[in-house]
Amino acid sequence: MFLEKNGGEVPKKGWIEVICGSMFSGKTEELIRRLKRAKIARQKVEIFKPKIDIRYSVDEVVSHDENTIHSTPVDTASNILLLVSNVDVVGIDEAQFFDNALVDVCNTLANSGVRVIVAGLDMDFTGKPFGPIPGLLAVAEYVTKVHAICMQCGNLAHYSFRKVASEKLVLLGETQEYEPLCRDCYIKFTEKNKFNNITTE
């Protein structure tokens, strides 16, 4: 991909931006904001999300504040490269649900001059790094960590506490299944659940 400059062609520069944090922290909201600004700038934008995420819509990225932008659902990260053609910006939501090949996909896009904006959970419900997000954080030029508000004490939250009894790594849900907690409250509630011997599915 090239841009015209002084009668010649120069390579178009690409990069990777990662927006991460807990559930309810505004990741998707920020992703949509950046993508809509790119569209206002008359850039060609493509948005992708994992096919398994149908909580709000099959083919739209939807924030908790109900802002939306059209997207293409895909099964695997490699499918993104098959579907992208002559774009300036690629947005990827719920990146934690993709396979680890997403890191190579994003690098390939950025190396070809595409601005790549990725949003996803940096930790799963157990507090461990989630899916390809750690790898993306390592290769990204720009990282934005957003925070929710702890539902117990009101401090900044960066843990997604699962309120239902299930140890499935991927359990799609909203406020009935999860709540954002700060570190202290997350530790307290996790220890409380262990003490009460809560059974899991």
What is the set of active-site residues? 94
CA trace torsion 65, 70, 76, 82 (10° rounding) = -150
Element (H, E) at 5: strand 2-5
b/e sequence 7-42, b meaning 16+ C-beta within 10 Å: eeeeeeebbbbbbbbbbbbbbbbbbbebbeebeeee
Q: Do 121 and 44 contact (CB within 8 A), yes or no?
A: no
Question: Residue 11 in 3-state DSSP?
Answer: strand
Q: d(Cα 72, Cα 80) in Å, to the nearest integer?
A: 9
Element (H, E) at 70: strand 68-70
Q: Do 100 and 64 contact (CB within 8 A), yes or no?
A: no
Question: Residue 79 in 3-state DSSP?
Answer: helix
Strand residues in 13-62 grouped as ranges (E) = 15-21, 45-50, 60-62
